[in-house]
Amino acid sequence: MRLFTLLVCCVFLAGYPLPELPAQSTALNNPDNCALGRQAAREDLRAGQLGYYFMGHPSPRSGHYARLFREKYGVATKGGGCLISQEFECYNELMRAAICQKFGSDAFERIGQQLDSLYALDLGDREASFIGGDSALYHYLYCQMDQELLATELTRTPYVVVLVTIGSDGSLAESQVVREGNGAENDLRYSQAAQRVLSTMPKWQPKIINGQALSSQWNIPIFFRQSAYNRHCLCTDG
């Protein structure tokens, strides 16, 4: 389990607001959905409008791609995320042909190349991240814990979940314990220890959207487990 996780598979990331999905898209495998998608695409094309469903796992990179596509070609973002249906695919099929006819057969590839160039220069959109990555965050958190609070039995590991706000400068702006369990809810030492460790946490790399640093929030679970301390601070598995 990752120490901190933002579950976004079927929701849209903050910073990439997309329209609500059409109500008729609930039956994803209905054969009539393809006809609905093509009909919607033809209506948009007759109205002189280009649109596209950017489907797949939402991420800062996919959101940046959609924004570049919209800015360069004037293509409306119709929706997206993990929800994939015949309706969306059939809509995109007609729209892709129209977009390539208007802007060239490599229209999609050019946006991808532009995005690659931006990320190569560290100018791409990104979520906030702890400097050094997950392993560095694990190391910091566990090596700063009060060892007397660490449990040896995996079945009863006290834990707290802390909601942290990472400011636009990468510093910890705010933290709040939002959940406690396995005994931590009855012992203030655990929440206090978690708050103490996080209060001295080094700066993160802040969230970047369209070249602008933004604040963001993360839920950080902290498990008071001896084996985790051994693994991350002593390089042993015991």
Query: What does the pLDDT look like over 18-38, one tens digit per residue?
Result: 333 344 444 455 667 899 999
Does the pTM surpass 0.95? The reply is no
One-letter amino acid identity for 150?
L
| Average pLDDT of the chain to the nearest whole number | 84
Nearest by Cα to 142 from 205, 238, 230, 218: 230
User: What's the mean pLDDT in 176-183?
Assistant: 94
Determine which helix (DSSP H) or strand (DSSP E) holds 36, and give its type and residue range: helix 32-46
What is the predicted pLDDT for the residue at 17?
37
**152 C-beta neighbours (distance < 10 Å), count:** 10
Supply the pLDDT for residue 154.
65
Half-sphere exposure of 174 (CA within 13 A, CB side): 8
| 165 DSSP assignment | E
pLDDT tens profile 72-89: 999 998 887 776 788 999
